[in-house]
Amino acid sequence: MKPDVYSIKSKLVVFAVISTLLPTIGLGLLSFKQNEALINDSVTRELRVLIDNINRQLNKWSEENMLAIRALSTSNTVIEGLTVLQQPGTDNELTDTKQISSNMVDYLYSVQEKLDEILELTVFDHAGKIIASSSNTPEVHKVPEKWTHALLTSGVIAIPPVWNNHFATATVSITFPVLSYDNQRIGAIAATLDIGTFKSKLMEIKKLAAGEITMLDHKGNVLLSSAPNVDHQTTLSSQQWELMQMDEESVTYEGLAYPQAIGLTYLSEAIPAVILVEQNYYSSIQAAWIKLRDRFIEFVGMLVVIITGVALYMGHSIVTPLKRLIGAARSIVEGNLDIQLPIRHKDEVGQLTDMFNHMTNSLRSQRTEILAANQAMQQQNQLLQKLSITDGLTGLYNRNKLNVILAEQLARLKRHHRLFCLLMIDIDHFKNINDELGHIVGDKILMMVATVLLKSIRTIDYAARYGGDEFMIVLTETDLHAASIIAERIRAEVKATCLTLEAHPLPITLSIGITQSHQTDTTASDLIARADAALYEAKRLGRDQVYCVDDAA
Ligand SMILES: Nc1nc2c(ncn2[C@@H]2O[C@H](COP(=O)(O)OP(=O)(O)OP(=O)(O)O)[C@@H](O)[C@H]2O)c(=O)[nH]1
């Protein structure tokens, strides 16, 4: 029974948990789907912030360098040197030419030393011929044939960003025209800039928003990167190269800096390079997912705890009264009907408890009736039993019982050799008493004799009415001598207790025959026959006397 009761509780808990978990998990999955887009958007926004920062810094870096070179292009040393060198006739004055070039080289050196970003400065004449350079092996720059007005002020990128093996860094070359004092183009000045100097800026920007920044040329060669594992020798896979073309749209792919990255590319306007920003997919997208998942698990866990608590409480409120009912039913099975259960709620269990109490009350009253009937029946049975072995008039044992007693005594005699004596007693001339004084007087005499008999024997002896005016006495463990003494005492007692009628005493005498049990006796009849014979002898010898059959030997 017990497990069944507990199973109500567990079934309730299982039902509550399932009915909570299923819709919650369904809704959770739906919200995960919606959050996926939100998380991607959030990462893309962070990447865009990075790009904005880079763009700003790169523009600044570019503008500062442009300004420095433009200032150089308007310096007196450069303008005057180029003007002098291009005047007719000066070609022949070799010493002066060399001196001017030497001065210009010195000037270029001094400027280059002041500016970290500048790796090389070269001055060209209007025909593109190198006049002076800070490098012994200057790069040859392609100067545009016709300078537009915009180029005159902003310069031109003569060599786009590339990895420069000579300087072992990424470089970009910018050329500015040199104008004479009367605004004639007399040459150009080219500066090779070290893009590597921008790395410190990249590292600063990287601190603002998590992610790695890589600058690439148009062929996908790495120029500069904030990532320690990415350098100019890093080559792009075809997939990475394809993704690089997707301007301003974030994609998840096998990254440069991370095994799995979410990245965004941007074509810089300051210098013609591709800026690639990446975030670690696992630490950005996946971390957000894990955070979301942990919150979801926390929420579901809390929900399950609350629901389980409520289900347990509900189960408890059902199971507790049921257990009380089961306990009460068990007590009834064990016979205890003094049970009254309290009705705490008016719900179904309360109704059941009320009916149970009614049922117990009904059983209790039925049991009381049954017990009373049973007791009455027992008394009747005892009475019947007594009647079945008792003589109705005298209250002594009847003939049937006498037979049983004799059979038992014979059995004892056989087993334990316990001798006993049987006395057969008859009232003398009882017929005459009946005839003369009536049966009522006769009955009184029978009762008086019975009283004397009962008084005269021990508790271990038996007195019975054999029939009519005949009585029998069984004296257990008694020999003939003792029996004859007892018989004599009885005879004398009865005679002394004679009835007195109308002041005339009525003498009552008894004749008593005695016999002792023999080892050879097998039935009560054997004994009775001998006692009867002894009684006959007492009668024959004149009545009012005791006669013993002494044939034991
Ligand atoms: N009042 C009364 N008489 C009974 C009862 N049972 C038997 N009797 C009478 O008892 C008498 C027995 O007489 P018997 O034993 O035959 O003869 P008796 O007169 O006693 O003569 P002896 O035995 O030879 O001395 C009969 O008259 C019966 O009717 C009884 O219950 N009440």
Query: Per-residue pLDDT for 3 more than 60?
Result: no
> 431: Cβ below 6 Å to ligand 1?
yes
pLDDT digits (tens, 9 = 90+) for 502-513: 667 788 999 999
Query: Per-residue pLDDT for 39 more than 80?
Result: no
Q: Do residues 83 and 142 both lie within one domain?
A: yes
Mean pLDDT of 397-414: 96
Ligand 1 atom nearest residue 432's Cα: 19
Mean pLDDT of 75-93: 76
Q: Do residues 217 and 348 both lie within one domain?
A: no
Cα–chain center distance at 59: 63
Ligand 1 atom nearest residue 443's Cα: 1
* pLDDT score, position 252: 80
Q: Is 521 part of the annotated catalytic residue set?
A: no
- Which DSSP helix (H) or strand (E) runs through 363? helix 348-389
Look at residue 366 and tell me if it is in a domain. yes
Q: Which residue range(s) make up the domain with 357?
A: 338-376
Q: Do residues 242 and 97 both lie within one domain?
A: yes
Look at residue 141 and tell me if it is in a domain. yes
Ligand 1 atom nearest residue 433's Cα: 19
* pLDDT score, position 553: 39
Q: Do residues 282 and 420 both lie within one domain?
A: no
Mean pLDDT of 226-233: 90
Separation CA 192–CA 117 (nearest Å): 8
Lowest mean pLDDT among 242-256, 374-388, 469-483: 242-256
- Percent of the chain that is helix, strand, coil (3-state, to 5): 55, 20, 25
Q: Do residues 292 and 419 both lie within one domain?
A: no
> 444: Cβ below 6 Å to ligand 1?
no
Look at residue 498 and tell me if it is in a domain. yes
Give the DSSP letter string of 460-512: TSEEEEEETTEEEEEEET--HHHHHHHHHHHHHHHHHT-EEETTEEE---EEE
**Pairing outcome for strands 470-476 and 420-427:** antiparallel
Q: Do residues 71 and 177 both lie within one domain?
A: yes
How many domains does the chain fold into?
A: 3
Look at residue 331 and tell me if it is in a domain. no
Q: Do residues 255 and 370 both lie within one domain?
A: no
Q: Do residues 372 and 442 both lie within one domain?
A: no
Q: Give nearest CA residue, ligand 1 atom 7.
A: 468
What Rg do the C-alpha atoms of the chain give, in angstroms?
Answer: 70
Mean pLDDT of 44-53: 86
Q: Give nearest CA residue, ligand 1 atom 31.
A: 468
Last residue of a domain, one of 273, 296, 319: 296
The overall average pLDDT reported for the chain is 86
Task: Region of 265 please: left (phi>0), alpha (psi -120 to 50) or beta.
Answer: beta
Q: Do residues 94 and 161 both lie within one domain?
A: yes
Lowest mean pLDDT among 171-180, 285-294, 331-340: 285-294
Mean pLDDT of 437-455: 94
Lowest mean pLDDT among 144-158, 337-351, 393-407, 447-461: 144-158
Q: Give nearest CA residue, ligand 1 atom 14.
A: 431
Look at residue 534 and tell me if it is in a domain. yes
Lowest mean pLDDT among 3-7, 301-305, 515-519, 549-553: 3-7
Query: Per-residue pLDDT for 6 more than 60?
Result: no
Mean pLDDT of 28-37: 78
* pLDDT score, position 468: 95
Look at residue 519 and tell me if it is in a domain. yes
Look at residue 15 and tell me if it is in a domain. no
Q: How far is the CA of 468 from the centre of ligand 1 (A)?
A: 6
Q: What tokens appear for 340 in the block?
A: 């009254």
Q: How far is the CA of 428 from the centre of ligand 1 (A)?
A: 9
Q: How many beta carbons lie within 10 A of that of residue 466, not counting itself?
A: 20
Query: Per-residue pLDDT for 233 more than 50?
Result: yes
Look at residue 134 and tell me if it is in a domain. yes
* pLDDT score, position 89: 59
**Pairing outcome for strands 130-133 and 118-125:** antiparallel
* pLDDT score, position 1: 44
Ligand 1 atom nearest residue 428's Cα: 25
Q: How far is the CA of 435 from the centre of ligand 1 (A)?
A: 9
> 399: Cβ below 6 Å to ligand 1?
no
Q: Do residues 483 and 372 both lie within one domain?
A: no
CATH number at residue 412: 3.30.70.270
Q: Do residues 361 and 405 both lie within one domain?
A: no
Count of H helices and E strands in the chain? 14, 17
Mean pLDDT of 427-444: 93
Q: Which is the catalytic residue, given 391, 426, 461, 469?
A: 469
Q: Do residues 280 and 421 both lie within one domain?
A: no
287 vs 445 pLDDT, higher one: 445
Mean pLDDT of 28-50: 81
CATH number at residue 275: 3.30.450.20
